[in-house]
Amino acid sequence: MSVMVPSAATALPLTPFRYEAQARRHCLGDTVVWLDLRTEVYYLKRQKRYGHGSTGSFVCQNEARAGGFRRSLLGIR
């Protein structure tokens, strides 16, 4: 399932997943991140907000970057 997510940057298709394991199977050779669609920020696994929130999904980091989403610099454990 591909989803177009509106963004200030040029939006590219993302493949969002509800579960991290699904994303890991899809994102072979890439890092799985938690993308907060509301704030357009993604979080790495070591960050506090990874996997939290009702407005997010697990996606491939390269897809998030290509879609114009930015990495969070806050919340590093």
Q: Convert the pLDDT of each residue in 16-62 to its tens digit.
A: 999 999 999 999 999 999 999 999 999 999 999 999 989 999 999 99
| pLDDT above 80 (res 75) | no
Cα–Cα distance for residue pair 39/26, rounded to 1 Å: 24
Nearest to 23 by CA among 57, 47, 64, 65: 57
How far, in Å, are 3, 7, 27, 69 from residue 11 at the CA level?
10, 6, 19, 9
Mean pLDDT confidence for 2-10: 52
Nearest to 27 by CA among 43, 16, 35: 16
Higher pLDDT, 12 or 33: 33
